[in-house]
Each structure stands twice: as C-alpha cells, then as structure tokens.
Structure 1
Amino acid sequence: MSNQSILRITRELSEIQKGSDLSLAVACRDIDVRHVRALIIGPPDTPYEFGFFEFSVKFARDYPTKAPAVTAITTNAGRTRFNPNIYAQGRVCLSILGTWRGERGEEWSSAQGLESILISIQSLMSQNPYENEPGFEDAKTDYDKKNQEAYVAKIRHETLRISIIERLEDYLGIGREKVPGVTVYNAEEDYQSNASDAPFEPFKDLCKRRFLWYYDSYLLAIERESEKYKDGQRFEKMPFEGPGNIMDGSFQYSSLKLRLQAIYERLHKEVEAWADEGKIAVQKEMSIASNLQRQFEQIVENYKKNDSVTLDLELVDKNPFIWQLVLFGRPMTNLDGGMFRIKIYLSPKFPDVLPRIKFETPIFHHRVSKDGILCYDPTRKDDLKSHIEAIIEAVEEESPAYDPRTLVNPDAAKLFWGTPEEKKLYNRKLRRSVQESTEY
C-alpha cells in the first residue's frame, strides 16, 4: 500500500474520531490501518434504535481508487439478517461498495470515503427496512403492510437481544448458554497477522457508557413492545428471507428485561469498584494517580479565577479517582438558585476508559437520566477540564440543536421538544427540581 493511500486512510479515521457524530466510531490497531473496525449506533425512532452494530472494513492497496471491503460482524454468529441489504453471512449490499447494482452516479468514486460508506449503511437502518428489499419498495397491500409491521417488530427485538444485551453480557462476563455446534464469527481473524495476546475490543467502553445513557429508552421499548408480543410468539418469516439468510426466533421480552437490568446493576458495581482500585493505584504511586491529582489541582486553581462559573470541586476521601463537583446554577437561567452535587468516577485505565458522571441531586433534565446519568461529550477525552466544561455546557444549554442521541430522559425529552404547553411544563418541572436541590 502506498504512503499516499495510508495517509488518506489515517486522515479519514482521525476526522471521524474527532468529529461530533455520536452515532459513528472507528478504530484500528496502530500497526495496520488497512484493517479497520467501525461501529454504527442505530438511529433513533427506528427498530435499530441505539443498537450497537459493528463492521469490519478492509482497505485494498489501491484505495481510494477502489472501495474497501465491508463485512457486518453483528450477525448473531451468522444466524441473523438484520436488513434486506445486510446479510447474515456479513455481506453488505450497497452500490457505493460495488456489491449491488445501483443507479448511474451511485457507484464508488475516489471522492468518497469511509464516513460516506458508514452513513450509507446507517441509512439502511430506516423506520421501514422492509422497503429496502428490491421489489418491495412500493408495497401497499394489506399483506405487505402486515409484513412490514412484523419485520420491524422482530428487528427491534433482535436489536435489543443481540446488538445490545448479548454484546454487554460478553463485555461483562455475564454467562449465557452457548448454542452447540455454532462457531461465533471471530473478528479477531482480521488481525491474526498481528499476533497479540490481548483481544481487540475498541468499542467496549463506548458501548458501556452509551448503555447507561440509553437504558431508560431500552426499558421503554421493552415495556411498549411486550404489550403487543407475548413471550414465545414466533417471528414471522418474510417473503424475501431464505435458508441461511433469515431472522428466525421468538419474542422473549420478559427475559430481555431481566437481562437488561442485570447488565445495568453490573455496570454500576464496576464503577463503584474504581474507588478501591484507585486507592491501590495511589499506594503503588502509579503515574495515573499522580496525573489525576495534578489535573485536579490545576482545575481547582483555574476555576478560582473564573468568575463566570460558580462551583466547588473536591476529592472524595482524598481519592483522586472519585471527584465531587458542586455546581451552582447560573443567575438568570433555569438553573438559577440551584445547587447540584455531581460525582465524577474515574477508572485507573483513564483515558482509555472515560469517566462516569452521576447527578446525586435529582434534576428533571432531558440530558440527565432518571437515575442521574449525564449524557455529555468532551472535546478532549484525556483532559478532565474539558470533561467538566462539557458537563456544565450539557446542563446549562437552554436552546440546544435537536439531537435525539443526547436525550436520555424520555419523559423530559418528550416535554422539552413537544408543544409550547409541554415546553412550559418541562420548564416548571425543571424549576421545581432546582428549588428542591438546595434541600437535598
């Protein structure tokens, strides 16, 4: 592969990693940028909502003259076809990839790149993926409408079961029954030439953080769908599904809810353990402990000179891995008069593992879950001052651009982005929580 091609791939990876799109992520081993892993988070208001869909991307030596080869990894070990254009065996059918005949002008060109490929795949994850199958684009009969509803229903179930629950169970070591005789697709084979004892799991922390963000949305989907589909009810087979390329199974929402709750509890225990791990790191005088202590001291000094923000920052039990931030509401805003206690939990693996932010003071806010999990995105992942700035911005911003990927409290989000009357109700609920914050 030419240096020019490698530079092009490296630049594209960097642009996606530094970008603000919360639904795309890419990674590769430093030793070989030709083999890339990509994660697409399912679009809101679709049956793929907040699912974690992983892909392998292999760049040929003549890239960008030729499109890379893309393989879907999230396939339930080759047993589940998540879309008419995303096969159970991993094939992704897109004209931009040359794997599907498209209209003139839809084929690959060197002006396109990895991000345009991922956005094209994401566009397949629509509200009605039934229409992606050729010949069914204009299906209007009652039979087709019934099939469309059934297809959406089983994709939503399997998105929760396979792309979210099973992925997190694997990350957390929560055991589940293995299917005899089934070999799970091993994405590590892409990296066999780079012998390494450590598995390549670039999206592990990202998925854990997002799971906590979207937990209430997952629960809401389960509660809503379980009213329509009873446990044990079989999935309906679509006209275009065939042997080896199907989405087979049955609805099991009661089980999914229990498994979802178990993951949530395990993630909280994992974070709570960081305090003890941090104390050990301090005792061993590890560099991460002194790094966090130094960042803490610098940030405290910085905010002493900052009159525009009023906050208190301290270490819990003098542990540099657990910070407590007290944020005082800025005057002339909806938070005016409020006092919010926020815990910042840091892992000894920071910055590879990012902080977990928990509001201990209840607040009715579209970016704070019912359990106090804050959705925020720092500009610099390794700089804790950037994290604190992003925390403050996420809470204080009163007229944000609409982005459903940041809405982690469904009830608050519905009011905030609803009718004028609903927005007024949102503001009243927020103000009430602000007033109660000083008594908490």
Structure 2
Amino acid sequence: MSNQSILRITRELGEIQKGSDLSIAVACRDVDVRHVRALIIGPPDTPYEFGFFEFTVKFGKDYPTKPPNVNAITTNGGRTRFNPNIYAQGRVCLSILGTWRGERGEEWSSAQGLESILISIQSLMSSNPYENEPGFEDAKSDYDRKNQDAYVAKIRHETLRISVIERLEDYLGIKWTGADRSSVTAYNADDDCEGLETPFEPFRDLCKRRFLWYYSSYLMTIEKEMARHRKGQKFDKMPFEGVGNTMDGTFEYEELKKRLENIKKKLDEETQSWAVEGRQLADKEVSLAANLQRQFEQIIEHFQKNDSVTLDLELVDKNPFVWQLVLFGRPMTNFDGGLFRISIYISPRFPDEQPRIKFETPVFHQRISTDGTLCYFPRRADEIKSHIEAIIEAVEDETPAYDPRTMVNPEAARLFWGSADEKKMYNRRLRRSVQESSEF
C-alpha cells in the first residue's frame, strides 16, 4: 500500500475519532491502519436502538480507488442476519461497497471514505428494515404489514440479546447459565486477528459507559415487549430468509431482564473495585496516582479563582482515584439553591478507561439517569479538569440541542421535549428535586 493511501486512511480515522457523532467509533492497532474496527450504535426509535454493532474494515492497496472490504462481526457466530442487507456470514450489501448493484451515481468514488460507508450502513438500521429487501420496498398487503411488525419485533429482541447483553457479559466474564444461554456462541470480536497474542477489543470501555447511559432505556424496552410476546414464542420467518441466512429464535424477555440487571450489578461492582485497586496503586506511589493527586491540587486552585462556579472538591479517604464533587446550583437558574453530591470514580487504567460519574443526590434531569449516571462529554478525555467542566456544563445547560442519544432518563426527556404543559411539569419536578437536594 502506498504512503499516500496510508496517510488518507490515517486522516479519515482521525477525523472520525475527533468528530461529534455519538453513533460511530473507529479504532485500529498501531501496527496496521489497513485493518480497522468500526462500531455503529443503533439509531433511536428503531429496533436497533442503542445496540452495539461491530464491523471489520480492510483497506486494499488500491484504496481509495476501490472501496474497502467491510464485514459484520455482530452476527451471533454467523447464525443471525440482522438486516436484509447485513447477512449472517458478515456480508454487507451496499452499492457504495460494490457488493450490490445500485442506481447510477450510487457506486463508489474516491471522493467518498470510511465515514460515508459507516453512515450508509447506519441508514440500513431503519424503523422498518423489512423494506430494505429488494422487491419488498412497497409491500402494502396485510400479510406484509404483519411480517413487518414481526421482523421488527425479533430484531429488537436480538439486538438486546446479542449486541448488548452477550457483548457486555463477555466483557465482564459473566457465564450465564440460564436457558437462553445454552445455544449461544459467546461474542468474539477478534476473529480477524489470528496469530496475535492479545485480543483487540477497542470498544470495551465505550460500550460499558454507553450501557450505563442506556440501561433505563433497555429496561423500558424489555418491560414493554414482555407484554407483547409470550415466553418461548417462536420468531416468524420472513419470506426472504433462507437456510443459513436467517434470524431464528424465541422471545425470552424475562431471561433478558435478569441478564441485563446482572450486568448492571457487575458494572457497579467493577466501579467500586477501582477505589480498592487505586488505593493500592497510591500506596505504591505509582506515577498515575501521583499524576491524579497533582491534577486534583491544580483543579482546586483553578476553581478558587473562578467566581462563576461554586463547588467543593475532595478526595474520598485521600484516595486520588475517588473524588467527591459538591456542586452548588447557580443563582437565577432552575438549580438555584441546589446542592449536588457527585462521585467521580477514576479507573487505574485512566485515560484508556474513562471515569464513571455518579450523582449521589437524586436529580430529575434528562441527562441524569434514575440511578445517577450522567451523560456528558469532556473536551479532553485525558484531563480530569475537562471532565469536571463537562459535568457542570451538562447539568446547567437549560437549552440543549435535541439528541435522543443523550437522553438517559426517558421520563424526564419525554417531558422536557414534550408539549408546553409537559415542559412545565419537567421544570416543576426538576425544581422539586433541587429543593430536596440540600436535605439529602
């Protein structure tokens, strides 16, 4: 591969990694930018909602003259076809990739790149993927409408089971013994890295953090679907599904709920374990512990000079890996008079693993989940000061841009983005939680 091609790929990867798209992530090993991993997070309001779908992207020596080879990894060991255009064997059928005949102007050109490919794949994850199958685009019969509903229903179930639950269970080393696990091949994202000693799992931390963001949404989906599908009910087979390229299974939402709750419990235990491991590193005077201690002192000094923000900051038990932030609500805002206690847990593998933020004070807020997980975005992931600034910004932003991917409290989000009366209800509930915060 020419240096020009490598520079092009490197630039494209950097642009995506620095971009603001919450639905797309890319990574590669330092030794070879030609072999890339890509993660697409399922779009809201589709059966793929907040699922984690991973792909391999292999660039040939003739890139960008010709498109890369793209394969889906999230396929349940080659047994699950998640879309008419994403086969169980991993094949992705798109005209932009040259794997499907498209209309004139839809084929690949060197002006396109990795981001346009991933956006095209993401567009397949629609609210009605049944229409993606050629010949079924305009299906209007009662038979087809029934199939559309059935297809959406089983994709939603398998998105939760395979792309979310199995992935997180694998990351956490959970061996589920329930009935739903016996016929499942464990998730493996390293199939294309044979011969390498260490598995390549670049999205492990990202998926864990997003799971905590979307945990309430996953639970809400399960509760809703449990009322629609009886336990053990078989999936309907679609007319375009063939042998070895289908989505077979049964609805097991009760089982999925237990597994989801178990993952949440294990993630909370993992977060708490950081404090113990961090204390040991601090006692050994490891450089990361010293660095965090230094950052803490610098941040204290910074905010002492900043009159616009009132906060207290301390290390819990003098542990540089566990910080407690007390944020005082800014006057003349909905948070006026509030006192919010926030725990910041820092991983012993920071910044490769990002901090986990926990609001110990209950707050009714669209960016704060019911269990206190905050959705926020630091400008610099390797700097704790940037994390604290982003926490304050996320909490105090009263006019955020509409983005369902940042709404981690579904009920609060529904009211915030609802009618005028619902927005008033949101503000009343937020103010009530702020008033109660000083008593917590």
TM-score, structure 1 as length reference: 0.98
* Same amino acid, percent of matched pairs: 76
- Aligned positions of 1:189-200 closer than 5 A: 189-192=191-194, 195-200=195-200
Aligned to 2:327: 327
Cα distance between partner residues in 2 of 1:173 and 1:431: 41
Aligned to 1:135: 135
Partner SS for 1:148? helix
- Work out whether residues 342 and 357 of structure 2, in 8 Å CA contact, stay in contact via their aligned partners in 1: yes
Cα distance between partner residues in 1 of 2:73 and 2:46: 20
- Work out whether residues 369 and 409 of structure 1, in 8 Å CA contact, stay in contact via their aligned partners in 2: yes
- Aligned positions of 1:73-84 closer than 5 A: 73-84=73-84
> Is 1:237 paired with 2:250?
no
- Aligned positions of 1:51-66 closer than 5 A: 51-66=51-66
Cα distance between partner residues in 2 of 1:294 and 1:222: 45
Which piece of structure 1 moves more, 120-129 or 331-340?
331-340
> What is the Cα deviation at residue 191 of structure 1?
2.8
Cα distance between partner residues in 2 of 1:186 and 1:88: 14
Aligned to 1:92: 92
> Which ranges of 4 or more aligned residues in structure 1 deviate by more than 4 Å?
177-180, 182-187
Alignment deviations for residues 269-313 of structure 1 (CA, whole Å, 9 cap, x no partner): 000011110111011111110111111111111111111111111
Cα distance between partner residues in 2 of 1:428 and 1:319: 38
Aligned to 2:114: 114
Cα distance between partner residues in 2 of 1:295 and 1:102: 54
Aligned to 2:165: 165
Cα distance between partner residues in 2 of 1:327 and 1:179: 48
Counterpart AA for 2:407: L
Aligned to 2:349: 349
Aligned to 1:209: 209
> What is the Cα deviation at residue 367 of structure 1?
0.4
- Work out whether residues 166 and 186 of structure 2, in 8 Å CA contact, stay in contact via their aligned partners in 1: no
> What is the Cα deviation at residue 377 of structure 1?
1.3
> What is the Cα deviation at residue 188 of structure 1?
2.7
Cα distance between partner residues in 2 of 1:64 and 1:179: 44
> What is the Cα deviation at residue 199 of structure 1?
1.0
- Work out whether residues 170 and 187 of structure 2, in 8 Å CA contact, stay in contact via their aligned partners in 1: no
TM-score, structure 2 as length reference: 0.98
Partner SS for 1:285? coil
Cα distance between partner residues in 2 of 1:137 and 1:295: 57
Which piece of structure 1 moves more, 331-340 or 243-252?
331-340
- Aligned positions of 1:311-390 closer than 5 A: 311-390=311-390
Partner SS for 2:57? strand
Counterpart AA for 1:438: S
Partner SS for 1:76? coil
Cα distance between partner residues in 2 of 1:189 and 1:144: 36
Cα distance between partner residues in 2 of 1:51 and 1:184: 16
Counterpart AA for 1:244: G
Partner SS for 1:191? coil
Aligned to 1:21: 21
Alignment deviations for residues 341-360 of structure 1 (CA, whole Å, 9 cap, x no partner): 00000110000000000000
Aligned to 1:282: 282
Cα distance between partner residues in 2 of 1:114 and 1:325: 40
Aligned to 2:8: 8
Partner SS for 2:55? strand
Cα distance between partner residues in 2 of 1:378 and 1:395: 13
> What is the Cα deviation at residue 184 of structure 1?
6.5
- Work out whether residues 367 and 409 of structure 1, in 8 Å CA contact, stay in contact via their aligned partners in 2: yes
Q: 1:184 to 1:312 in 2, by over 3 A?
A: closer
Cα distance between partner residues in 1 of 2:295 and 2:196: 33
- Work out whether residues 41 and 50 of structure 1, in 8 Å CA contact, stay in contact via their aligned partners in 2: yes
Which piece of structure 1 moves more, 195-204 or 24-33?
195-204
Aligned to 1:392: 392
Cα distance between partner residues in 2 of 1:185 and 1:434: 43
Partner SS for 1:123? helix
Q: 1:364 to 1:185 in 2, by over 3 A?
A: closer
Cα distance between partner residues in 1 of 2:188 and 2:101: 29
Cα distance between partner residues in 1 of 2:398 and 2:235: 44
- Work out whether residues 193 and 199 of structure 2, in 8 Å CA contact, stay in contact via their aligned partners in 1: no
> What is the Cα deviation at residue 332 of structure 1?
1.2
Cα distance between partner residues in 1 of 2:421 and 2:395: 22
- Work out whether residues 166 and 187 of structure 2, in 8 Å CA contact, stay in contact via their aligned partners in 1: no
Q: In angstroms, what is the RMSD of aligned CA positions?
A: 1.2
- Aligned positions of 1:178-189 closer than 5 A: 187-189=189-191
> Is 1:420 paired with 2:420?
yes
Partner SS for 2:140? coil
Cα distance between partner residues in 1 of 2:38 and 2:258: 29
Aligned to 1:291: 291
- Work out whether residues 35 and 191 of structure 1, in 8 Å CA contact, stay in contact via their aligned partners in 2: no
Partner SS for 2:169? helix
- Work out whether residues 56 and 187 of structure 1, in 8 Å CA contact, stay in contact via their aligned partners in 2: no
Partner SS for 1:37? strand
> What is the Cα deviation at residue 197 of structure 1?
2.5
Cα distance between partner residues in 2 of 1:205 and 1:256: 22
Cα distance between partner residues in 2 of 1:268 and 1:220: 20
Alignment deviations for residues 178-206 of structure 1 (CA, whole Å, 9 cap, x no partner): 767x87785434333xx542211000000
Aligned to 1:176: 176
**Structure 2 unpaired stretches of 5+:** none
Aligned to 2:407: 407
> Is 1:257 paired with 2:218?
no
Alignment deviations for residues 323-379 of structure 1 (CA, whole Å, 9 cap, x no partner): 000111111111111110000001100000000000000000000000000011111
- Work out whether residues 50 and 214 of structure 1, in 8 Å CA contact, stay in contact via their aligned partners in 2: yes
Cα distance between partner residues in 1 of 2:431 and 2:389: 22
